[in-house]
Amino acid sequence: MRYLTVDFGSTYTKLAAIDATEARVIGVASAFTTIATDVMVGFHAALNLLREHIGAFDYDELLCCSSAGGGLKMVALGLVPELTSKAAKMAAESAGAKVVRTYAYEISATEQAEIAAINPDIVLLCGGTDGGNKDVIVKNAALICKTPGDFSIIAAGNKSASRELEEIFKHSGKDCVITNNVMPAFGRLDTEPARNAIRDIFIERIIDAKGLAAVQRMTKHEIMPTPFAVLKGCELLSLGTDKTSGIGDFLAVDLGGATTDVYSMAKGAPSLSNVLVKGLPEPYAKRTVEGDLGMRYSAAFLLEEAGARNIADACGIAEDEIVAWVRKCVADPGTLAPQNSRERALDETLAGCAIEIAVGRHCGVLEQIYTPLGETYTLTGKDLSETPRVIGIGGVIQNSASPAKILRHAVFTVKNTGRMFPKAPAFLLDKRYIFSAMGLVGMIDPELALAIMKQEMHPLTEDEDGIEKPETVR
Report pLDDT digits (tens) over 291-337.
Answer: 889 899 889 999 999 999 999 999 999 999 999 999 999 999 888 88
3-state class (DSSP) for residue 184: coil
Burial class (CB in 10 A: 0-12, 13-18, 19+), 74: buried
pLDDT per residue as tens digits for the range 215-258: 888 999 988 888 889 999 999 999 999 999 999 999 999 998 88
Residue 209: what pLDDT? 56
Does residue 84 surpass a pLDDT of 90?
no
Reported as half-sphere exposure (CB side, CA atoms, 13 A), residue 223 has a value of 27
Closest alpha carbon to 141 in 177, 182, 114, 117 = 177
Residue 469: what pLDDT? 41
Residue 412: what pLDDT? 96
Average pLDDT over residues 358-366: 95
Residue 191: what pLDDT? 85
Residue 468: what pLDDT? 38
- CB atoms under 10 Å from CB of 87, counted, come to 26
State the pLDDT confidence band at 153, using cuts at 50, 70 and 90.
Answer: very high
State the pLDDT confidence band at 420, using cuts at 50, 70 and 90.
Answer: very high
Q: Are 285 and 231 spatial neighbours (Cβ–Cβ below 8 Å)?
A: yes
Q: State how far the Cα of 336 lies from the Cα of 12, in Å rounded to an integer.
A: 11
3-state class (DSSP) for residue 150: coil
Q: State how far the Cα of 387 lies from the Cα of 422, in Å rounded to an integer.
A: 5
pLDDT per residue as tens digits for the range 441-460: 999 999 999 999 999 999 99
Does residue 463 surpass a pLDDT of 80?
no
Closest alpha carbon to 282 in 132, 384, 159, 184 = 384
- Read off the pTM: 0.85
112: left (phi over 0), alpha (psi -120 to 50) or beta: alpha
Residue 240: what pLDDT? 97
State the pLDDT confidence band at 471, using cuts at 50, 70 and 90.
Answer: very low
Q: Are 351 and 397 spatial neighbours (Cβ–Cβ below 8 Å)?
A: yes
Residue 473: what pLDDT? 36
Look over the chain and give the mean of its residue pLDDT values, rounded to a whole number: 89
3-state class (DSSP) for residue 19: strand
Does residue 467 surpass a pLDDT of 60?
no
Residue 97: what pLDDT? 75
3-state class (DSSP) for residue 119: coil
Does residue 5 surpass a pLDDT of 50?
yes
Look at 35 and 281; give whichever has higher pLDDT.
Answer: 281
Closest alpha carbon to 142 in 186, 96, 191, 106 = 106
Q: Between the CA of residue 100 and those of 67, 118, 174, 213, 284, what are the distances in Å?
A: 15, 8, 20, 26, 23
Average pLDDT over residues 346-366: 95
State the pLDDT confidence band at 67, using cuts at 50, 70 and 90.
Answer: confident
pLDDT per residue as tens digits for the range 102-133: 898 999 999 999 999 999 989 999 988 899 98
- Where in 21-143 does DSSP place strands (E)? 24-32, 61-66, 73-78, 98-104, 122-125
Ranking 79-83, 280-284, 383-387 by mean pLDDT, the lowest is 79-83
- Percentage, residues of the chain above pLDDT 70: 94
Average pLDDT over residues 369-394: 91
Q: What domains can you pick out in the chain, each with its CATH number? A: 72-204 (3.40.50.360), 244-430 (no CATH)
Q: State how far the Cα of 88 lies from the Cα of 451, in Å rounded to an integer.
A: 34
Residue 425: what pLDDT? 97
Look at 428 and 283; give whichever has higher pLDDT.
Answer: 428
Residue 440: what pLDDT? 97
What end-to-end distance do the CA atoms of the chain give, in Å? 26
Average pLDDT over residues 13-27: 95
Look at 315 and 38; give whichever has higher pLDDT.
Answer: 315
